[in-house]
Amino acid sequence: MSYTVETEVFQGPFDLLLHLILTEELELYDVSLSSIVDRYLVELDRMQHTDLNVATEFLLIAATLVELKARRLLPDDDAFDLDDELALFEERDLLLARLVECKTFKDAASVLRQHSEVARQTYPRVAGVEEAFMHAAPDMLEGIDTQDLKSAFIRAKTPRPEPVLDLYHLSAVTASVDDAVRELVEELPGAGLVRFRDITASLVDRIEIVVRFLALLELFKQGLVDVTQARAFGDIELVWIGGNPEEALHALAIDRYDG
């Protein structure tokens, strides 16, 4: 139950991290990643009886933190992989961006709190129209019969399941740009001039087409395909100019992040 976690001190991984960085470590330049990581892990350990969803979120952040910490502890190494290094930077920046966003809404919530506290001091008048005037009121039951009542009752009693599909777990949208790039790298070399229409003909969902388009843009940006469109809304034509697909794939190093 995620609720139990929320009633404990922290309402999420960002909340915890914000707390550790901002409230616990007030000295700006003394902030130690090391101690933040340690304390984060302690907190994580403390919340052992939480549901998997929540724990996963916390773990994801913990993993990133540990990686950052490990990187700091390791001596400078000539053999380090630049791509990994950059990926780590990205993770960190993303984490930072999300912390900033989290903080933003935390502060925005304080305004709502003020509003609601003020509003709680007042009570609206709800008495309504005096009986004397009710004769003039339109008959709201006009045209409603007992069968309508019965079906309204059944409707009210029929549970409305909330949609189970939660897009949160469906990071396929971001992840599959990667897949789409790979697919294109397999399909395009040697295929000559192809139309975008053709390489998306078999796709059902619009989102798949969008993802393919994003992948195409990516390849274009990398100089691996040449793209032309003769006129607005006309066919997009593409041709592979990237040479050896193996090398191209290697150079692409698409990132995956499912947060």
Partner 1 sequence: MTQHTTDNDNSAEFSHDLRAAVEAVVMVSEHPVDVRLLAQLVETSVETVEMVCAGLAAEYAQQGRGFQLVRVAGGYRFQSHPDQAAYVERFVIEGQSSRLSAAALETLAIVAYKQPISRAQIAAIRGVSVDAVVRTLTHRGYIEEVSRDPGPGQAVMYGTSRLFLEKMGLDSVSDLPDLGDFVPDPTIVEALEQGLRFDASEVIDAQPAQDEDAPAAPVIDLRDSANSPSV
Could you say whether residue 136 binds partner 1 (CB under 8 A)? yes
Could you say whether residue 40 binds partner 1 (CB under 8 A)? no
The CA angle 80-172-166, to the nearest 5 degrees, is 125
Could you say whether residue 122 binds partner 1 (CB under 8 A)? yes
In whole angstroms, the minimum distance from the beta carbon of 226 to partner 1 comes to 17
Q: Which stretch binds partner 1 (CB under 8 A): 2-10, 183-191, 225-233, 239-247?
A: 2-10
The CA angle 177-103-22, to the nearest 5 degrees, is 120
Could you say whether residue 190 binds partner 1 (CB under 8 A)? no
In whole angstroms, the minimum distance from the beta carbon of 237 to partner 1 comes to 22
Could you say whether residue 144 binds partner 1 (CB under 8 A)? yes
* Residues forming beta bridges with residue 240, ordered by sequence position: 225
Angstrom distance (rounded) from CA 26 to CA 31: 8
Question: How many other CB atoms sit within 10 Å of the CB of residue 188?
Answer: 22
Q: How many CA atoms lie within 13 A of 122 on its CB side?
A: 7
Region 220-239 residues binding partner 1, contact defined as CB under 8 A: 221-222
In whole angstroms, the minimum distance from the beta carbon of 69 to partner 1 comes to 7
Could you say whether residue 49 binds partner 1 (CB under 8 A)? no
Region 52-71 residues binding partner 1, contact defined as CB under 8 A: 53-54, 57, 61, 65, 68-69, 71
20-28: long-range pairs with CB below 8 Å, 24+: 21/99, 22/103
Could you say whether residue 79 binds partner 1 (CB under 8 A)? no
Could you say whether residue 72 binds partner 1 (CB under 8 A)? yes
Chain centre distance of CA 61: 14
220: exposed, middle or buried (Cβ count in 10 Å: 0-12, 13-18, 19+): middle
Could you say whether residue 158 binds partner 1 (CB under 8 A)? yes
Taking the least distance from each CB to partner 1, the nearer of 18 and 199 is 18
Taking the least distance from each CB to partner 1, the nearer of 114 and 234 is 114
Which of 42, 46, 63, 168 binds partner 1 (CB under 8 A)? It is 168
SS3 131: helix
Q: Which residue has the tokens 């992989």?
A: 81
| Nearest alpha carbon to residue 20 among 108, 105, 95 | 95
Taking the least distance from each CB to partner 1, the nearer of 42 and 253 is 253
Which of 19, 41, 59, 103 binds partner 1 (CB under 8 A)? It is 103
Chain centre distance of CA 101: 12
In whole angstroms, the minimum distance from the beta carbon of 231 to partner 1 comes to 27
Which of 48, 49, 77, 127 binds partner 1 (CB under 8 A)? It is 127
- Taking CA atoms, 250 is separated from 181, 185, 244, 246, in Å, by 12, 11, 10, 6
